[in-house]
């Protein structure tokens, strides 16, 4: 049985033979007898060596791709060669022709990857194949994070987090963030809590924060995001900007931007809030407390329902306070408190609102004052 390359049509020519030799020679299992035949083919014509060198050069360029991608390309070509050979053999047995014209018929009838990718075995077609495979592998790599880590704080705890690019996060109490850095973007998911983001500028990799139904996109700035779906009366998202600009947009559950919702651009000194469904309220100026007064152990309330005040303070620690009377829960409170000293709030509350504290086991029930 001859071990020479598979016959080719005139349009395939020497380049096709060179590619066959290259794939078979680098695919493994190439013995000394086949190597001798290959060397004889090289020596038979200087054009053979030039064609082989071209194929080798093209495939050497593919070494820049990940190893698994290169292995797939070579395996596909080797598989196509084996499939084509098997088809040719079966056609020969079925037709039992008197001459070799069957080779051309059987060969052109096989729609293999090799036929689609390198129809004339030209260097340009090989480059196209390499580029296509490179794009597929590149897209796959883009989806893989180069850095991924989750950070969280317990109730009453705050945490400063440095990130690999020089950006920094400041996490408030009862907060969790999931950080993922990719080749084309930086992403932080905020399932619960609030944080201040000091983002290092990088135009090639925007910084995105995903909080509930909103996506906040920046290049470099300092801003805060709050997403506390478990807190009564505060289940939306709030975004406040201290420096730079951010884009806030509503996203669908699959992460795509909702076409019917126009993005909002915030500049320094502005803030915006949404409800739990991502509907954005009008943009407003920052309050005097800035984007995150909790950084300075301050929690401020402005005409806020008492039950919402307690829900916020409970994020920082056990107040021992309970509410059972809906009328008392609806009382409004204004003031600034230190969440690390909840005992002070307990003492001040009866002076700030028409209520008194009534012992109830190990708890203090807030009831209306007589």
pLDDT of residue 158: 95
Q: What is the rounded distance in angstroms from the CA atom of residue 240 to the CA atom of residue 211?
A: 13
**What CATH number matches the domain at 297-368, 1.10.10.10, 3.55.50.30, 3.30.70.980, 3.10.580.10?**
3.55.50.30
* C-beta separation of 280 from 264 below 8 A: yes
% of the chain residues with pLDDT over 90: 49
Q: What is the rounded distance in angstroms from the CA atom of residue 314 to the CA atom of residue 156?
A: 9
Residue 127 has pLDDT above 90, yes or no: no
Residue 6 has pLDDT above 90, yes or no: no
Task: Name the band, by pLDDT with cuts 50, 70 and 90, for residue 288.
Answer: confident
Task: Name the band, by pLDDT with cuts 50, 70 and 90, for residue 120.
Answer: very low
pLDDT of residue 1: 38
Domain spans of the chain, in order of start = 13-142, 147-285, 297-368
Q: What is the rounded distance in angstroms from the CA atom of residue 170 to the CA atom of residue 335?
A: 24
pLDDT of residue 15: 80
> Which residues 6+ apart lie within 8 Å of 184 measured at CB?
142, 204, 205
Residue 134 has pLDDT above 80, yes or no: no
Asked if 147-285 and 297-368 have one fold, the answer is no
- 15-29 pLDDT per residue, tens: 878 887 877 787 666
Residue 136 has pLDDT above 70, yes or no: no
Highest mean pLDDT among 9-13, 39-43, 112-116, 244-248: 244-248
Q: What is the rounded distance in angstroms from the CA atom of residue 367 to the CA atom of residue 358?
A: 7
Q: What is the rounded distance in angstroms from the CA atom of residue 209 to the CA atom of residue 214?
A: 8
> Which residues 6+ apart lie within 8 Å of 238 measured at CB?
194, 224, 225, 226, 271, 272, 273, 274
% of the chain residues with pLDDT over 70: 72
DSSP state of 369: -
Residue 124 has pLDDT above 80, yes or no: no
* C-beta separation of 186 from 167 below 8 A: yes
pLDDT of residue 305: 94
pLDDT of residue 209: 97
Q: Model's pTM, two decimal places? A: 0.59
Mean pLDDT, all residues of the chain = 79
- 169-192 pLDDT per residue, tens: 999 999 999 999 999 999 999 999
Give CATH for domain 147-285: 2.60.120.1440
pLDDT of residue 370: 83
> Which residues 6+ apart lie within 8 Å of 295 measured at CB?
158, 170, 196
Residue 32 has pLDDT above 60, yes or no: yes
- 146-172 pLDDT per residue, tens: 999 999 999 999 999 999 999 999 999
């Amino acid at each position: 049985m001859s071990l020479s390359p598979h016959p080719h049509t005139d349009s395939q020519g020497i380049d096709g033979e060179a590619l066959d030799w290259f794939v078979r020679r680098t695919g493994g299992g190439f013995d000394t007898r086949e190597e001798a035949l290959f060397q004889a083919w090289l020596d038979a014509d200087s054009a053979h060596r030039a064609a082989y060198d071209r194929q080798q050069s093209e495939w050497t360029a593919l070494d820049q791709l990940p190893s698994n991608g290169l292995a797939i390309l070579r395996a596909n070509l080797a598989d196509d060669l084996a499939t084509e050979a098997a088809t040719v053999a079966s056609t020969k047995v079925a037709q039992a022709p008197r001459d070799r014209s069957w080779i051309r018929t059987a060969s052109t009838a096989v729609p293999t990857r090799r036929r689609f990718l390198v129809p004339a075995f030209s260097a340009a077609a090989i480059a196209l194949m390499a580029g296509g495979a490179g794009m597929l592998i590149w897209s796959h790599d883009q989806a893989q994070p180069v850095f991924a880590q989750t950070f969280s704080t317990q109730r009453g705890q705050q945490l400063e987090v440095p990130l690999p690019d020089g950006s920094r996060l400041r996490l408030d109490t009862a907060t969790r963030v999931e950080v993922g850095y990719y080749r084309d973007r930086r992403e932080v998911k905020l399932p619960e809590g609030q944080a201040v983001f000091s983002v290092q500028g990088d135009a090639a990799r925007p910084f995105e924060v995903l909080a509930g139904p909103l996506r906040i996109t920046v290049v470099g700035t300092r801003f805060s995001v709050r997403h506390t779906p478990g807190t009564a009366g505060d289940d939306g998202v709030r975004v406040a900007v201290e420096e730079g600009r951010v884009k806030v947009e509503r996203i669908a559950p699959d992460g795509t931007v909702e076409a019917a919702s126009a993005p909002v651009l915030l500049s320094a000194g502005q803030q915006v809030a949404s409800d739990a469904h991502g509907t954005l309220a009008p943009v407003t100026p920052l309050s005097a407390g800035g984007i995150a007064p909790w950084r300075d152990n301050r929690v401020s309330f402005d005409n806020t329902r008492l039950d919402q005040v307690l829900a916020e303070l409970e994020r920082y620690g056990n107040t021992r306070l309970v509410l059972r009377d809906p009328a008392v829960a609806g009382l409004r409170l204004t003031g600034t408190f230190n969440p690390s000293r909840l005992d002070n709030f307990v003492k001040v509350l009866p002076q700030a609102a028409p209520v008194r504290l009534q012992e109830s086991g190990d708890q203090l029930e807030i009831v209306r004052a007589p």
